[in-house]
A and B are shown apart, each in its own frame.
Chain A
Amino acid sequence: MLKILLAPLFFLGKMIANGISSVGELCCILWFTVRQLPYVFRTWGLVLKQMVAIGVSSMPLLFVTSIFTGMVATVQASFQFRGLVADKWVGTAACKMVLIELGPLLTALVLAGRVGSALAAEIASMREKEELDAHEVLGLDPYRYLAMPRFVAFMSMVPCLTVISNCLALIGGWIVAVLALDISSYTFYTGMQYLFNPMDLFGGTIKSFVFGVIIFLIGWLHGINAAPGARGVGLATKDAVVSCCLMILILDLATDAILFQ
């Protein structure tokens, strides 16, 4: 009887212990990777390859999601405020929503699904095929040749993609405003400028930098800890996406609280 009553407590305790252990592992991965940053110029070719894989290859998907995000934001702003406030506020609301929240958040969530999962699957598969051991045996530190180039690529490409995504979303918003909501380009543009604060753009970019780092860390963590076999790779990929999305949402709230007080 006592055992049954204590079961939830044990479960909770195990979850907390696992959480603490994962945070510790993430800190170790971050430290081992950051320690390799001085070698970034020696491995520039690998960094560039990852930048293309993470950044350039994600553009088509991001193009579609960003344009539609901007359109939806503008339509919603118009739907909520029209008749209550002047039309220019639609542009203001869309711009604020996109720069502060939707741009960085949706870009990070899309990248978590696309490249975070790919990172976990790639590393899990390399581990399965003993490629990580082969690096070690050849005296090549996997953190220098595999982790650090990906870390730099994530750290730099996620903010870049976020800025591009913001621009595309605003273009999408402008298109829908002019074509469907009968708002003139001038009114929409004036609204975007109104109440614009450079901190909106800066804060959003800082957030995307944090998201880039966390997508890399979680993808790598699940990759190197993957269970053997095809099932292990599948589970690692799924867990990486779920953890990334969860952490992005939590960190979004945390960074908002710090940056936009």
Chain B
Amino acid sequence: MPNVKIDPNDIMIQLRGLQKAFGAQTVLADVNLNIRRGETMVIIGQSGGGKSVILKHMIGLLQPDGGEVVVDGVTISTPKFFDTRTIRKKMGMLFQSGALFDSMDTGENIAFALREHHPELSEKQVQEVVTEKLKLINLVPEFRSKMPSELSGGMRKRVALARAIALSPEILLYDEPTTGLDPITSDVINDLILDMQSKLGVTSVVVTHDMVSAFKVADRIAMLYKGRIIEVGTVDEIKNTTNPFVKQFITGKRKINPEDTAN
């Protein structure tokens, strides 16, 4: 578990009564969650349960049907007052597939947003930032000339993380960061998530169903079930939960233990 001081009253992201449906299918029924500044919140839940949808609401890629999303005191779920560019400069997101720009090499992927948002930077300064970000994710500067197609799954995620932190965001969102990776590469990614928190002091939201990863990186874990957050707690609290659905999920059982329901 990370060792970073977090003020429980300093809320960075607030979800209040978040609702979202796609056609007739309700994905988020009533999601309420407070994420503290500097903490790593892991959202767990079944595949297709709406975890990624929550992330997309946090960064404004989706607008809710009801409820509010407040990021650093700014309500971003009301389009009228939504300054997309400013709020997104505060946030970085690691996509499940990495979502690297295929037509650009690794260095260009990291430098692209930097050049556009900071035209005052010289090319030398941009390249320095690229080198620094590559070092942060434990990659040598020579990697900058590799094309995304030449990278393995783990490498792609690391480069995507370097791109996400290029603008020095205050919030990092991770969408299934270890999905599709072998256990060792997954652990490398977990360490990087912890590094980002300790070295950059970012607030992190990790969406995953990989419990090894969740227990390693989380300050707190929230469980999404049937469109609602049914439990929030520290790693120990979640491990010792009495909630049958959370217990079923973290132990990976196909059916709920009848004894848990009886309790």
Contacts and interface: CB of A to CB of B under 8 A. Distances in A.
A69 B117 CA distance: 49
B143 interface: no
Interface in B70-112: 84-85, 88-89, 91-93, 95-97, 99-102, 112
A140 B163 CA distance: 13
B101 A139 contact: no
Contact of B91 (A126, A131, A137): A137
A137 B96 CA distance: 14
Interface in B172-190: none
Nearest to A138: B113
State the main secondary structure of chain B at its contact with A. mixed
B116 interface: yes
A131 B102 CA distance: 9
B97 A140 contact: no
Contacts of B100: 131, 134
A25 interface: no
Interface string A38-58: 000010000000000000000
B61 interface: yes
Contact of B96 (A42, A126, A130, A131): A130
A138 B114 CA distance: 9
B41 interface: no
Interface in A204-227: none
Interface in B141-166: 163
A140 B166 CA distance: 13
A239 interface: no
Contacts of A131: 99-102
Contacts of A126: 102
- Of listed A42, A133, A134, residue having the most chain B CB within 10 A: A134
Interface in A110-159: 126, 129-131, 133-134, 136-140, 145
Interface residues of A, number: 13
B80 to A, nearest CB: 19
Contact of B99 (A42, A129, A139): A129
B218 interface: no
A139 B84 contact: yes
B59 interface: yes
B167 interface: yes
A130 B100 CA distance: 9
Contacts of B92: 137
Given A138-B113, A139-B85, A133 B61 contact: yes
A130 B101 CA distance: 10
A64 to B, nearest CB: 28
B167 A129 contact: no
B167 A138 contact: yes
Interface string B96-140: 110111100000000011001101000000000000000000000
30 contacts: A126-B102, A129-B97, A129-B99, A129-B102, A130-B96, A130-B97, A133-B56, A133-B95, A134-B95, A134-B99, A134-B101, A136-B61, A136-B84, A136-B88, A137-B61, A137-B88, A137-B92, A138-B88, A138-B112, A138-B167, A139-B85, A139-B88, A139-B89, A139-B113, A139-B116, A139-B117, A139-B167, A140-B113, A140-B116, A145-B116
